[in-house]
Structure 1
Amino acid sequence: MDWFQALILALIQGLTEFLPISSSAHLILPSEVLGWPDQGLAFDVAVHLGTLLAVMAYYRRDIGAMLGGAGQAVAQQKMNEDLRLGLLVVLATIPAVVFGFLGDDWIERELRSALVIAVTTLVFGGLLWLADVYGTRSKPLTQLGIAGALLIGFAQALALIPGTSRSGITITAALALGFRREEAARFSFLLSIPVILGAGLLKTKDLIELQVPVDWGLMALGAAVSAVTAYLTIVFFIRLLERVGMLPFVVYRLALGIALLVWLA
């Protein structure tokens, strides 16, 4: 992988990690369609570190409030809303951890293909549109309970399949439960923090065990570009969300899915 390819892949990661269009699909497509070499484990770790830093920076107040809420709950021996939200994030993370542990190797081996991406892009794009149109979009996040968090968590586990989109499927589930668009995106992005962190730690462990040579310049480029791009993308997405909804992303997913099926035909 050369510097140009690294730059493009880092931009793709930053642009697509938090938009409901699937970052994994877009990172697979350059190798499937253009014949680019696989970006490798080290670069994967670098760009995910970048997107993790971006979402933590954007939601730093929420993270601080949840940590502060935990300390306050211990001191007062009483549950509070900030701690409750943090616990729901942890609870909703569990299904993805379990299914990732059980099926990640099989998914990597059997489902990383343009055909799978085309189908999941179309199917889950359609579900996103239905949830956005028919969801009541009335509930604040304070109304999220254990059952709702688990449902969103199981939806997130489906994002292990390339083309599903982790943010897309969790926002879809939250919208279907009646939550407001911005609240659905907020919970989805908070939910991404432990998932990206956990995946990054596992990949770092694999990288250390493999003892492969690392081009630190490319890694730094990937982390920096993906971090800046992801932060700006989150800002753009949140500001756009209430005005235009999910339709532009649904249209993009449908166009991409159809284009891939035509290319495969």
Structure 2
Amino acid sequence: MSLSYLEAVVVGAFQGVTELFPVSSLGHSVLVPALVGGQWARDLDVSAPESPYLAFIVGLHVATAAALLVFFRRDWARIIGGFLTSVRHRRVETPAERLAWLIILATIPVGIAGLLLEHLFRTVLGRPLPSAIFLIVNGIVLYLGERLRRRAEVVDTSTVDASVTGTRTVVLPKVEESPDDRLARLSFGRGVLIGSAQILALLPGISRSGATMVAGLTRGLSHEDAARFSFLLATPVILAAGALKIPDLTGPLGAGIHGPILAGSLASFVTAYLAVRFLTRYFHTRTLTPFAVYCGLAGLAGVLWLSLA
């Protein structure tokens, strides 16, 4: 494999952004080289037999996961602490303990599916045209998620509690909950359902964060909490996926490209950190609709370009 520093940095930057934006990192990793063409299309072919490009882009996930760990470091300290106290005392009572087990249970389905289906989906569907089509599907899913959210009961933490004494009602401000406390109120069944949506991201063009956010929105989460839960769920999954591919890059598949790999990883870390910082603020007041429009248009443009080329 020939991998230039320019290719590595561009792919790394795209991966860091598109892994967290609900627009599919794998879909862009397949489409961008094909649309550029030439040497890029030959070097960066994820469906090629024994392709080191797949190991490269999955290895970039380690850098993306590292950015998520840095950004959510306080949350992960509480979650890991909650898991340890839960095991030590054999209980699941506090918000931190519940959230720890929610994340563990919600990542099991995608872990199993990834081990069983990743190779099949990559070799059969990891090509530019199917990726462009699935990008359109991703846009439709995001749009429908916003429509369905209007029918779902959204968890509202801005309301107040009322205490009635005799004929007089005294309104008391509700105690402010942390985002993690709100997520810990999810039932384990809902948590597993939301986490299972990550399986769709095995299809190139379907976004992991987008699928989990839509699942969260339709189960009553706000945009802010759905995005946060999506990022927390993604961290162990993409870290594990990247860790499994790192040995490939230290062997013959990575021969001669260790420098570009490091450059691409640095680009992925920086862009992923900036992306999660932006998105956690964006979803305070905004929706998935702009991303749905982008995916629809980008996927359609990709289909037309590849069909006419």
Q: Secondary structure at the match of 1:20?
A: coil
Q: Secondary structure at the match of 2:236?
A: helix
Matched, 1:168 2:210: yes
The corresponding residue for 1:19 is: 21
After TM superposition, the structure 1 stretch with the greater mean CA deviation from structure 2, 97-106 or 15-24, is: 97-106
Q: Secondary structure at the match of 1:73?
A: helix
TM-score by length of 2: 0.80
Larger radius of gyration: 2
The corresponding residue for 2:148 is: 134
Contact residue 59 and residue 246 of structure 2 kept, 8 A: no
Matched, 1:225 2:267: yes
| 2:122 aligns with one of 102, 108, 133 | 108
After TM superposition, the structure 1 stretch with the greater mean CA deviation from structure 2, 207-216 or 21-30, is: 207-216
The one-character-per-residue Cα deviations of 1:17-68 (angstroms, maximum 9, x if unpaired) are: 1000000011111332223112725532542121011111111111100111
Contact residue 137 and residue 180 of structure 1 kept, 8 A: no
The corresponding residue for 1:58 is: 71
Task: Give the distance between the partners of 2:7 and 2:248, measured in 1 at CA.
Answer: 23
What letter is aligned with 1:109? T
Q: Secondary structure at the match of 2:296?
A: helix
Contact residue 131 and residue 175 of structure 1 kept, 8 A: yes
Contact residue 11 and residue 225 of structure 1 kept, 8 A: yes
Aligned pairs, number: 265
Task: Give the distance between the partners of 1:206 and 1:149, measured in 2 at CA.
Answer: 33
Structure 2 vs 1, CA of residues 8 and 107 (structure 1 numbering), >3 Å: closer, same or farther? same
TM-score by length of 1: 0.92
Over the residues paired in the alignment, what is the CA RMSD in angstroms? 1.9
Contact residue 23 and residue 138 of structure 2 kept, 8 A: no
Contact residue 96 and residue 184 of structure 2 kept, 8 A: no
Q: How does 1:246-265 map to 2 (within 5 A)?
A: 246-265=288-307
Structure 2 vs 1, CA of residues 106 and 73 (structure 1 numbering), >3 Å: closer, same or farther? closer
Structure 2 vs 1, CA of residues 74 and 94 (structure 1 numbering), >3 Å: closer, same or farther? closer
Matched, 1:97 2:111: yes
Question: Counting helix residues as a fraction of each chain, which structure ranks higher?
Answer: 1
Displacement of 1:11:
1.0
Task: Give the distance between the partners of 1:34 and 1:246, measured in 2 at CA.
Answer: 28
Contact residue 224 and residue 284 of structure 2 kept, 8 A: yes
Structure 2 vs 1, CA of residues 31 and 183 (structure 1 numbering), >3 Å: closer, same or farther? same
The one-character-per-residue Cα deviations of 1:183-220 (angstroms, maximum 9, x if unpaired) are: 11111111111111211121123345656414332122
Task: Give the distance between the partners of 1:120 and 1:215, measured in 2 at CA.
Answer: 30
User: Where does the alignment leave 5 or more consecutive residues of structure 2 unmatched?
Assistant: 45-51, 156-181
User: Where does the alignment leave 5 or more consecutive residues of structure 1 unmatched?
Assistant: none
